[in-house]
Amino acid sequence: MQKGLLIVISGASGTGKGTVCKKILADLPEVAYSISATTRTPRPGEVDGKEYYFLSRDEFKAWIAEEKFLEYAEVYGNFYGTPLNKIEERLNRGEDILLEIDVQGALNVKKKCPDGIYIFLLPPSLEELKRRIEGRGTETAESLARRLKNAVAEIEIGREYNYVVVNDTIENAVAQIKSIIAAERCKVERNPDKFQLGTRNKELGTSF
Of 57-76, which residues contact its own copies (CB under 8 A)? none
Q: What is the DSSP letter of 12?
A: S
Nearer to its own copies, 41 or 199 (CB): 199
Question: HEC string of 29-49?
Answer: CCEEEECEEECCCCCCCCCEC
Nearer to its own copies, 85 or 162 (CB): 162
126 lines the binding site for its own copies (CB under 8 A): yes
161 lines the binding site for its own copies (CB under 8 A): yes
151 lines the binding site for its own copies (CB under 8 A): yes
* b/e sequence 92-107, b meaning 16+ C-beta within 10 Å: eeebbbbbbbbbbbbb
Nearer to its own copies, 56 or 199 (CB): 199
Of 84-123, which residues contact its own copies (CB under 8 A)? 119-120, 122-123
* Distance of alpha carbon 174 from alpha carbon 163, whole angstroms: 13
Tell which one of 59, 132, 166, 168 touches its own copies (CB under 8 A).
166
* Distance of alpha carbon 208 from alpha carbon 33, whole angstroms: 49
Select from 77, 3, 85 the least CA-distant residue to 36: 85
Give least dist CB 38 to its own copies, A: 26
Nearer to its own copies, 49 or 208 (CB): 208
Tell which one of 86, 93, 136, 149 touches its own copies (CB under 8 A).
149
Transcribe 92-141 into DSSP letters: HTT-EEEEE--HHHHHHHHHH-TTSEEEEEE-S-HHHHHHHHHHH----H
List interacting residues with its own copies (CB under 8 A).
119-120, 122-123, 125-127, 130, 145, 148-149, 151-156, 158-166, 175-176, 178-180, 182-184, 186-188, 191-192, 194-195, 197-201, 203-204, 207-208
